[in-house]
Chain A
Amino acid sequence: MSTAPMPVAVNTFREAVRDRVLYNLVFFALLMIGAAILVGQISIGIDRLVIINLGLSAISVFGLVMAIFIGVGLVSKEIEKRTLYSLLAQPVRRWEFLVGKYAGLVLTLVVNTSFMTLGLAAALFYVGRPFVRSDALILVAVYFILLELALVTAIALFFSCFSTPMLSTLFTLGIYVTGIFASDIREFGDLTKSPGLKALTRVIYYLVPNFHNFNAIAAVSHGEAIPLALVAQNTLYAALYVTLLLVAASAVFSRRNLK
């Protein structure tokens, strides 16, 4: 088993920390404090629901912004700044570099999301202590958000291997938005009478990751249980897509000329 991705991952995490990427936690904390104080005054009986909804949505949005904007620069920034030249002259295979960069950003997202989850827990504790049993479901929703972020990071990394950061951002965002509406797009195709359009929407449905499946925010905020089968299905689904994307990214990057 190759150990080369490990130092690359640690260095990617260190870069995020030193570039003050985790400062977004301050904004999240302010948002949670503001929401906790405000919700207590304007909502009666649904303050927990509002806080969970707002908190999980903010965790998702903050994470997505990080995954996309850092993800699209994972490789292209190294090429542009030429930091890759001396690194790839070391005995490091290109796929090891990619896996390391990917793992480093996912680690950053996990740490960031963990802190935000603690912030959400603190806000919930403030508006309606003590915790109730259904609050544990928040962790499942957070886990789904992390799976979603891992998938988005892999998409961003894939585009980062051959495209500019601007185009990679557009492509990644495009796929993410399409992925959220994947089921609707398929349904639209089924409703039309055009076989060509129907085939096209089917291809899009199967090709683009279905991000809608990872959204458990509404269910969790209403205290609905998440089936274990869905947890297993989402985990496998994300793992498969991430693996495919990393393999594709490695295939593209392994023959790329670093001019």
Chain B
Amino acid sequence: MSTPAIEILGLTKDYPVGFWRKTMRRSLDHLSLQVEDGEVFGFLGPNGAGKTTTLKLLTGLIFPTAGTARVRGRSIDDVAMHREIGFLPEQPYFYDYLTARELLDYYGHFGTLSKTARRERVTQLLERVGLASAADVQLRKYSKGMLQRTGIAQAILRDPKVVFLDEPMSGLDPVGRREVRDIILELKKEGKTVFFSTHILSDAEMLCDRVAVLAGGKLQGVGAPGEIMSVEVHAMDILFELPPGGSLPASLAGRVTPIGGRCRMEVPEAELYAALEQLRRCEARILSVSPVRPTLEDYFLRMVGERQTASRGVEVAVR
């Protein structure tokens, strides 16, 4: 059996809070999951769910209170693990007195690339992320989107096998998001494992082989986006027009949403035919009947709603 790309085993993180720092706030609660080689894995959750904490733990920026993790078989405490990974922090900020070329060249020193190979790689990456024309402009003059692209370039600089991206589409315009999506898909084609956190669910649905939903520091579910969506109760969406002067019976009127000259109504699947019969009696013109496909967003919001209290963090007194 091949080694998983990422293996997280009971990872827990508590932060001390308060003036005396004797109270602990749990940011991540016994997270365990496994990401296979070559997967694009989405890590979903609202703000404060523990997504960034997980990524910081995996990249060695913070240290776990309990549990451990391995990336391609190497412990996260091992500096050699960093040769296997690339990381884009959330809202990346780089040395703004450097140009993008200088920044990438600087980070390139920490790998095994020779000077010539490093220069070639930097030039190639700058072209790949669309920054070739601004390569020699100081980063302080870059827009947010350009900084994000610089961040992605540095994350894949050493051609890592596993790429961690923390909210890679955050703050980008639709074109920028599309570009980042394309890069993630290219990385997948190259056989890389991409682990990215996001709260833009359409991106996760579009890109991910599997997703995990996190709320209140706890894992709520893991699976293919399709699997997660299938747990929802189905409903039917009816679009119709009433004849001039027509009106709906009281039993339906409260469920209808007018849209322009038309009406939309969502009914449980079991009540579909009864609702259609009532609309027929009112001489309504049925324009469409379609199943309401539950989205990842529905699942996400339901989970978050259920865990609203938990998402504010669990306080554990220090003994």
Contact = CB atoms under 8 A, between A and B. Distances in A.
A91 B107 CA distance: 9
B111 A86 contact: no
B92 interface: yes
Contact of B15 (A6, A18, A93, A259): A259
A92 B109 CA distance: 10
Interface in B267-319: none
B62 A257 contact: yes
B177 to A, nearest CB: 21
A15 interface: yes
A258 interface: yes
Contacts of B92: 82, 85-86
Interface centre among B59, B61, B92 (most CB of A within 10 A): B61
Q: Chain A binding site: helix, strand, loop or mixed by DSSP?
A: loop
B89 interface: yes
B97 A14 contact: yes
Given A4-B110, A92-B82, A259-B15, A86 B94 contact: yes
A194 interface: no
Nearest to A258: B61
Nearest to A92: B110
A79 to B, nearest CB: 10
A85 B15 CA distance: 19
Interface in A60-100: 81-83, 85-93
A90 B109 CA distance: 10
A90 B83 CA distance: 7
Interface in B36-95: 56, 59-63, 79-80, 82-83, 85-89, 91-95
A34 interface: no
Determine the interface band of chain A, counting residues with CB < 8 A from chain B.
20 to 34
A85 B63 CA distance: 14
Contacts of A259: 15, 62
A12 to B, nearest CB: 10
B87 A82 contact: no
A19 B95 CA distance: 11
A5 to B, nearest CB: 11
Contacts of B91: 82
Given A4-B110, A7-B110, A259-B15, A89 B59 contact: yes
Contacts of A88: 59-61
Nearest to A16: B97
Contact of B56 (A92, A255, A258): A258
A11 interface: yes
Contacts of A6: 109
Given A90-B82, A90-B107, A91-B83, A83 B61 contact: no
A14 B95 CA distance: 11
Contacts of B109: 4, 6-7
B151 interface: yes
Given A89-B61, A89-B87, A92-B110, A83 B95 contact: yes
A83 B93 contact: yes
Contacts of A85: 56, 59, 61, 87, 89, 92
A83 B107 CA distance: 12
A18 B140 CA distance: 12
A231 to B, nearest CB: 35
A19 B61 contact: no
Contact of B110 (A19, A90, A258): A90
Contact of A86 (B62, B80, B151): B151
Given A86-B151, A90-B82, A259-B62, A18 B87 contact: no
Interface string B85-118: 1111101111101100000001101110000000
Contact of B89 (A11, A14, A82): A82
A11 B94 contact: no
A83 B94 contact: yes
B12 interface: no
Contacts of A81: 93
A257 B82 contact: no
B154 interface: yes
A81 B92 CA distance: 9
Nearest to B81: A91
Nearest to A17: B97
A89 B76 CA distance: 11
Nearest to A3: B109
Interface string A17-51: 01100000000000000000000000000000000
B67 to A, nearest CB: 15
A248 to B, nearest CB: 19
B154 A86 contact: yes
Contacts of A92: 79, 82, 110
Given A86-B87, A86-B154, A90-B107, A15 B95 contact: yes
B107 to A, nearest CB: 6
Nearest to A93: B79
A1 to B, nearest CB: 15
B89 A86 contact: yes
Given A7-B109, A85-B61, A91-B79, 15 more contacts: A4-B110, A11-B98, A15-B95, A19-B97, A82-B93, A85-B87, A86-B88, A88-B59, A89-B59, A89-B82, A89-B86, A89-B164, A90-B110, A91-B110, A257-B62
7 contacts: A14-B97, A86-B87, A89-B87, A91-B111, A255-B63, A257-B62, A258-B56
